[in-house]
Structure 1
Amino acid sequence: MEYAQKPPALSSEGSMSENWVDWKQQFLIFLKASGIADKPTDVKASILLNLIGPVGMKVFKKFIFHHPADKENVDILMEKFDDHFSPRKTEVHDRYIFFSSTRQKSETIRQYVETLKEKANCCNFGVLTETLIRDKLVLDMKNKDLRKHLFEQKYLSLSQVIDLWEKCEHTELISKLCISKELLEKQSYKAADKNLSKKTWNCIKCNTSHEPKQCPAQGKKCENCGMYNHLTACCNKPAALKNNLAQNDLV
């Protein structure tokens, strides 16, 4: 069909993986709409190379073909373009992602296990999936005592590790709360002691509470005994002393 719209040349702007997927889809639609889909593979390969443009041709020139005829096979060409723009992840890569996973602070232990199960789906672990997730949890464990306890277990399932981990975290949380409460109480006691040390209660010179060296009677003359540095109301000397002091002043 003459009115079938040809795909534009492969673009180099943005994500090349997405660009190739879009171009490949347009190319397949064009083959079907133009009636070329049933043509020989070599004809379709030539059309692909004719339409893909400079960006695609630059990639094509780097391909290695074990057989010369492969260059003219459209299926082999598209597979090589697939591998170039959207490389397939290998089992080694997927397992590396699994074993290098770390638990996020916002994740509960059970949520972390679900994350590991999802990643394990791409790793081809087979019947070993659950035991490898169990081993990954033990590997991630920071509590040495709990890890030692797990090492001593002859039979240890994934569910047992999860339960023990949760109990350990709960115990540690309670311990931290108790320690925080104890520290808070100590700080309160220290603050109270500090405030008490700043005060002199029931000062005998002025009968008030005040900080050291802040007595209001300092320098004041007692009208009862005539001596300084205490108030008359706090004087504990007999009134007769006042008369004796007055007489001594006259002599």
Structure 2
Amino acid sequence: MNPTTTSSLTQFDVEGDIRSVGIRWEKWKRAFLIYIEATGIEDSLKKRANLLHHGGFGLQEIFYNIPGANLTDQENEAKAFEIAIRKLDEYFSLKHSKVYERHVFRLMKQEEEGFGKFLLRLRNQAGKCKFGNVEENLIDQIVEKGSSTELRKKILAAGDAITLEKVIITGDSKSGIGRIWRNLSKFFRPQEPGEFFNV
């Protein structure tokens, strides 16, 4: 692909909510790295120039004011992009509050939505929380704030043997996909109630 191809990458929003700027940076950086890979740009200085160009004026202003970010000597030319990314990562990680993100996660509850949508929202928020054990926190939140009393009882009855995969299979059983899966599985082997939780 030609490196001059027009990109659909939007400029990085440095002006938004300060509490979520670290997460926005990670998402924007991921999209930018995909763009760099797709365009085949390999030169470190060109990667850095594209980073600053696509990032916009706000990102440029931050970059040029971070000590040690804009190294121009020949010794650092080969690492110009790597250094720029590292310095910007350090800058934006200071703006991210896992305490705040965990607070938001703990407030999340299943509204008038299916289990799958609730789980997707939980997973997206959990990604911002830097949990040591994401699966355990997702299960806890499903027990605490999920709308299905039946699912809550099954999870609690399974105790420490429960896995997120088993919760998903059981939680999805109320959706159309879960019903189809249950009906198909009846043709292959007999199924007892609560079988997913047998260890």
For Structure 1 versus Structure 2, the TM-score category normalised by the shorter chain is 0.3 to 0.5
**What's the TM-score, normalizing by structure 2?**
0.39
Structure having greater relative contact order (Cα 8 Å, sep ≥ 6): 2
**What's the TM-score, normalizing by structure 1?**
0.32
